[in-house]
Amino acid sequence: MLSHCLRSPVLQLAFFAALLCPLSFAEPGPSTLIGNVPSRATVSLDGAWHAIVDPYEDGLGARFFQDAKPKSKSDLVEYDFETSGTLLVPGDWNSQRESLFFYEGPLWYQRTFSYAPRPSTRVFIYFGAANYLARVWLNGKKLGEHVGGFSPFNFEITHEVANGLNDLVVEVDNTRHSDGVPALNTDWWNYGGLTRSVRLVEVPETFVKNYVVQLEKGSMDQIAGWVQLDGAAPSQPVTIEIPELSLKKSITTDARGYAEFRFPAKPHLWSPEDPKLYRVLLTAGGDTLEDQIGFRTIETRGTKILLNGKPIFLRGVSMHEEAPFRLGRGLSEDEVRILLQWAKDLGCNFVRLAHYTHNEHVARLADRMGLLLWSEVPVYWDTDWTNPATLDNAEAQIRDVIARDHNRASVILWSMSNETPPTPPRVEFIRSLAAYARKNDSTRLLTSAMNRVGKDDPKNRVLNDPLGEFLDVLGVNEYIGWYEGTPEDADTTHWSSPYDKPVIVSEFGGGAVYNNHGDAQTRWTEEYQANLYEHQLRMLRQMPALAGMSPWVLMDFRSPRRWLPGVQDYHNRKGLISDRGQRKQAFYVLQKFYREMEAEH
Ligand code: GCB
């Protein structure tokens, strides 16, 4: 990915400048990303874009990026964006056109925009995400490429953007690859398209590219962090202000635009019960950036997770980035709020964002609503463990979500992977990925959802995946009562772990069709699912080292590998809530349990 993005000379410079930065407690990393774009004044390019479906990928050879029109009556041009129909951005194409429901392959987007360049202003084009490969051209000139369906990326266009009308063409290709991240098989819909907002970001010539402002690890009275400037005058005074704490500090960046800071402060601590956010202002040169930041600590001690120094039990639920009531990607802030409010109604203080980076509204809303988050990269099931390019790809994805969300108090866990086999190459892959994540953010906890447990005696399960050594928190997915045995088997199953670390049961559950009733032995009934939850919860109460759980899953979601007609119809039905917002019986079983846990902790 990096090599693709580095085709732009400006980004190359930024990249090598960033590489020179000293490694510290939270190094800025080689990311070319602009941080905190949602807080900047941007020009939205969302709306209807022209779209050409190109199943054989002939558009490259036919030079769609030139958006040509016949110059004469006899001129042959075999495509025409203007008359090819439109698709909404942000959005996936699968749920916008019936003919594209199962479509995987290349599709070309085009739109024009007017622009009036302003003096001393740099312009970037920022994509919230495009699944999976994106190639971008402006006025016929290639800006670069990006691989990875869930991370943001940007290209500088200061010297490419025209005064007046500009023509933007983006090829998006959601073909799956065995060496991709994720690889070939997933239990979620491979929604293709420009699935998040596209914006123009204007910044002064030298600007705040990224920053971290948070409590220093292990401290409740020191705020620490770093600022990275980008531009021709990288050495500048930078002011960091937190008006409510009457704090105003100035530092000066070095020749590479980088500075660290540390100063005493006693902020009121952020927690799910009291999600206090402070207005934080960063000023450098002509750039002022505003953020809303919560201050909290997160650490582990033995088998406990400590938030602000006190043990916390994570009452969670897993969720996909799938829109309520309509299914699909391209979620608005209001749609994210609905999902997070459902989690709160369930009694949650924690949400597992499965299985990839979710959109940028989520962590911001979670900061405001008081929800802790587990954020994951899509190293899912079979991955090309020995391929260095695959590891680079996974590293780029974790690097970019860290660069996007490292100021969000809600995010406490970075998850490296989901359900991967404990073979030596996989252990080595995830060990490297975890080391890389820690280098980019040493303040948060690392985890993985594991599912291979020592099962010599199925009644005594041992969480002994060798990966446990490199993680702070052990995630475990188990499906007693659904993929193995009966729900009652949970009553006599015991768990242990050789690691003195907290455990989160990151998945358990079973499928039910809303309003399908029967006895508790009949699959797909609400009664079966509710009974499964009853037995699971009884078992989990006895589980030593249990620090939290995120059952599978908040809402029914689309999956290509769920075929059963009349029951699944290409949906995974393990939701506690249907895709139409109806709550199943198991929702109330879990809600009751969470009320009890809240009272006990
Ligand atoms: C799992 C996976 C999740 C699936 C779920 C299921 O173990 O982690 O992605 O959707 O099981 O429903 O089978």
Return d(Cα 83, Cα 357) in angstroms, integer: 34
Residue nearest to atom 7 of ligand 1 (CA): 477
**What is the mean pLDDT of the segment spanning 561-587?**
98
Q: pLDDT digit string (tens) for 2-33?
A: 333 333 333 343 333 333 333 233 333 333 78
* 187 CA from centroid of ligand 1 (Å): 6
pLDDT of 22: 31
Whether residue 197 is predicted with pLDDT greater than 90 in this model: the reply is: yes
Give 304 Cα–ligand 1 centroid separation in angstroms. Answer: 26
**How confident is the model at residue 454, as a pLDDT?**
77
CA of 574, closest atom in ligand 1: 12
Q: Across all residues in the chain, what is the average pLDDT?
A: 94
Q: Which of 418, 552, 553, 571 to mutate to test the pocket of ligand 1 (most atoms within 8 A of CB)?
A: 552
Report the distance separating Cα 597 and Cα 313, nearest Å: 8
pLDDT of residue 367: 98
Q: How far is the CA of 362 from the centre of ligand 1 (A)?
A: 21
Instruction: Return the half-sphere exposure (C-beta side, CA atoms, 13 A cut-off) of residue 524.
Output: 11
- CA-CA distance, 480 to 596, in Å (whole number)? 23
Q: How far is the CA of 601 from the centre of ligand 1 (A)?
A: 29
* Amino acid in the structure at residue 59: G
Q: What is the 471 CA–ligand 1 centroid distance (Å)?
A: 21
**Mind listing the pLDDT tens digit for each residue in 473-505?**
999 999 999 999 999 999 999 999 999 999 999
Distance 321 CA to ligand 1 centre (A): 14
pLDDT tens digits for range 388-400: 999 999 999 999 9
> Which residue from 317, 419, 506, 561 has its CB within 8 A of the most atoms of ligand 1, so it is best to mutate?
419
Strand partners, 438: none
State what percent of residues in the chain have pLDDT above 90.
92
pLDDT value of position 72:
98
| Percent of the chain at pLDDT exceeding 70 | 95
User: Taking the alpha carbons of 439, 218, 278, 227 in that order, is the dihedral positive or negative?
Assistant: negative
| Atom number in ligand 1 closest to CA 355 | 9
Q: What is the per-residue pLDDT across 262-314, written as a single tens digit (0 to 9) for each?
A: 999 999 999 999 999 999 999 998 999 999 999 999 999 999 999 999 999 99
CA of 355 to the centre of ligand 1 (A): 10
Atom 10 in ligand 1: which residue has the minimum CA distance? 187
SS3 77: coil
What local confidence, expressed as pLDDT, does residue 2 receive?
A: 35
Quick one: which atom of ligand 1 is closest to the CA of 451? Answer: 7
**129-176 pLDDT per residue, tens:** 999 999 999 999 999 999 999 999 999 999 999 999 999 999 999 999
pLDDT bucket at 126, cuts 50 / 70 / 90? very high
Say how many Å lie between the CA of residue 354 and the centre of ligand 1.
Answer: 10
User: Tokens 């990915």 sit at which residue?
Assistant: 1
| pLDDT of amino acid 27 | 35
**Per-residue pLDDT tens over the stretch 208-237:** 999 999 999 999 999 999 999 999 999 999
Which of 438, 291, 435, 312 has the alpha carbon at shortest distance from 371? 312
Distances in Å between the Cα of 135 and the Cα atoms of 5, 16, 95, 103, 338 are: 10, 23, 22, 19, 33
Residue 580 has pLDDT above 80, yes or no: yes
From residue 560, alpha-carbon distances to 557, 564, 568 in Å are 10, 11, 10
**Cα(407)–Cα(295) distance, integer angstroms:** 9
**The pLDDT of residue 548:** 98
Centroid of ligand 1 to alpha carbon of 176 (angstroms)? 19
DSSP sequence for 176-195: --TTSSS-S--SS----B--
Condensed to tens digits (0 to 9), the pLDDT of residues 318-348 reads: 999 999 999 999 999 999 999 999 999 999 9
Q: Side-chain half-sphere of 517: how many Cα atoms within 13 Å? A: 2
pLDDT value at residue 17: 38
Query: Which atom of ligand 1 lies at the shortest distance from residue 483's CA?
Result: 13
Model pLDDT, residue 21 = 33
- Read off the pLDDT of residues 85-106 as tens digits, 9 standing for 90 and up: 999 999 999 999 999 999 999 9
Residue whose Cα lies nearest atom 9 of ligand 1: it is 187
The minimum-distance atom of ligand 1 relative to the CA of 511 is 12
Pocket of ligand 1 (CB under 6 A): 187, 355, 418-419, 477, 507, 552, 572, 574
State the distance from the centre of ligand 1 to the C-alpha of 446, rounded, in angstroms: 20
Locate the ligand 1 atom nearest the alpha carbon of residue 354 and give its number. 9
Nearest Cα residue to 368 out of 299, 290, 269, 270: 270
**Ligand 1, pocket-test mutation among 483, 558, 561, 572, most atoms within 8 A of CB:** 572
Average pLDDT on 183-192 reads: 98
pLDDT in tens, 102-122: 999 999 999 999 999 999 999
